[in-house]
Amino acid sequence: MSSDTGKFGEYGGQYVPEALMPAIEELEDAYERYVLNNEDGFMDEFRQRLADFGGRPTPVQHADRLSERYDCDVYLKREDLLHGGAHKLNNALGQVLLAKYMGKERIIAETGAGQHGTATAMACAHLGMPCEVYMGRRDINRQRPNVFRMRLNDAEVNPVTVGRGTLKEAISETMRDWAANVEDTHYVIGSVVGPHPFPAMVRDFQRVISEEARAQMREKTGGLPDAVVTCAGGGSNTMGVFAEFVDDEDVDLYAVEAGGSSLEVDEEAGVAPNSATLSTGTEGVLHGSRTRVLQDRDGQIMESHSVSAGLDYAGVGPELADLVDSGRVTPANVDDDRAIEGFHRLSQLEGVIPALESAHAVAYVEESQADLGDTVLLNVSGRGDKDLETVLEETHERDIEDAPEMDTFAETGGFQ
């Protein structure tokens, strides 16, 4: 990355309204002082709070039954065991703490699956900061348990009804709030997206995943994995688990996106029935950064789709886009049906119910294990409690391999 411009190859930068530049410059200064240089012991406090409040380190678990199934050693990085049930707390806690060091008095955030909103609400309750979360109406309906969790932590949840009411629109509304309240408000972006310094800063807060995993794999196996596999939406867990492995050329890195229902694009309807930006996107600008995006030939951002709310985004982090362009990261995609199969498979074989986001990576290992080498590290970015309603309905409607018997739910009127 070019430190003075926040560029990753051709991607990155700061494409924001003039009104936001003072806040961006203030944040750049705080990122350099507190995060990069540990001024006033900021990073020491951050890591201590991650341990005491978050429960780090999270374990790496040998997946005995998956390993037997694939005739290779599969290890799970258990970010689902972090406080709140997902990797999102790493970044949320870091940014809310940074906002306090900066003297900010109010926190705003966007959320798709609700995990980032939940993590931000928890961090704000922990650190005594007022919190407002913007969430698309469609995602609110898909993720009601997480909405209630945010409210339990005394956060306001603001429904976004424009467009399809998903993550893209929630980010846009949060940006508008920030532009109007830059003096006392910090925007906790939930992924490695947005204008510099957000992509680098979020990666650095999430880097703890790969710092731990690299050491844990050495301890358990005496070496490094042949492959690291994780899901990719905006890319926060992706860059978190990749960061410390990028320079290890013998470790293959796989970013698994949401293939949705099809990789085709309906330009007339303005819809991409997938969220496979790394596989099918083209260069453009979204939410303050140049990156790969799902767009039509006129540069209009397409509406994306995934059965997983957390992957339903039309862009991706600029650093991840650059790593794909350079050939360091291999993009892949898994469709909705296979993701739901992956959800059931990990639950049945290992007793770990994954988030639908993580289930995409589980499904990719199922179909591609022969190409991944003898030792595979699979990042379980979050737990699947939030997705149970969605998986229940989708399993009933689809012909899902190895799904549990659904007749009991139908007999009791469990389906709408």
Q: Please give the torsion angle defined by the CA atoms of residues 383, 389, 392 and 396, in that order, rounded to the nearest 10 degrees.
A: -140
Establish if 3 belongs to a structural domain: no
Q: How far is CA 80 from CA 85, 88, 115, 154, 355, in A?
A: 5, 10, 11, 23, 8
Please tell me which residue in 210, 308, 368, 381 is annotated as part of the active site: 381
Identify whether residues 341 and 239 lie together within a single domain. yes
pLDDT of residue 411: 58
pLDDT of residue 93: 98
pLDDT of residue 271: 84
Establish if 1 belongs to a structural domain: no
pLDDT of residue 3: 47
Establish if 414 belongs to a structural domain: no
- Of the chain, the percentage scoring pLDDT greater than 90 comes to 81
Number of domains in the chain: 2
Identify whether residues 189 and 152 lie together within a single domain. yes
| Residue in the block written with tokens 């929630």 | 170
Please tell me which residue in 79, 110, 257, 319 is annotated as part of the active site: 110
Establish if 411 belongs to a structural domain: no
Please tell me which residue in 88, 104, 168, 386 is annotated as part of the active site: 88
Identify whether residues 194 and 94 lie together within a single domain. yes
> What is the rounded average pLDDT of the residues 175-187?
95
Token pair in block for residue 371 = 């190409």
End-to-end CA separation in angstroms for the chain: 50
* Per-residue pLDDT reduced to its tens digit, 100-113: 999 999 999 999 87
CATH number at 340 reads: 3.40.50.1100
Annotation marks residue 88 as catalytic = yes
* Per-residue pLDDT reduced to its tens digit, 122-144: 999 999 999 999 999 988 988 88
**What is the residue-averaged pLDDT of the chain?**
93
> What is the rounded average pLDDT of the residues 80-100?
97
Identify whether residues 186 and 239 lie together within a single domain. no
Q: Is the pLDDT of residue 279 over 70?
A: yes
Establish if 410 belongs to a structural domain: no
Annotation marks residue 183 as catalytic = no
Establish if 124 belongs to a structural domain: yes
Domain that holds residue 234: 60-84+207-397
pLDDT of residue 69: 98
> Residues of 65-79 as b/e, b for ≥16 C-beta within 10 angstroms?
ebbeebebbbbbbbb
> What is the rounded average pLDDT of the residues 303-331?
93
Establish if 164 belongs to a structural domain: yes
Identify whether residues 28 and 174 lie together within a single domain. yes
- Predicted TM-score of the model (pTM): 0.94
Q: Which residue has the higher pLDDT, 30 or 386?
A: 30
> What is the rounded average pLDDT of the residues 247-252?
98
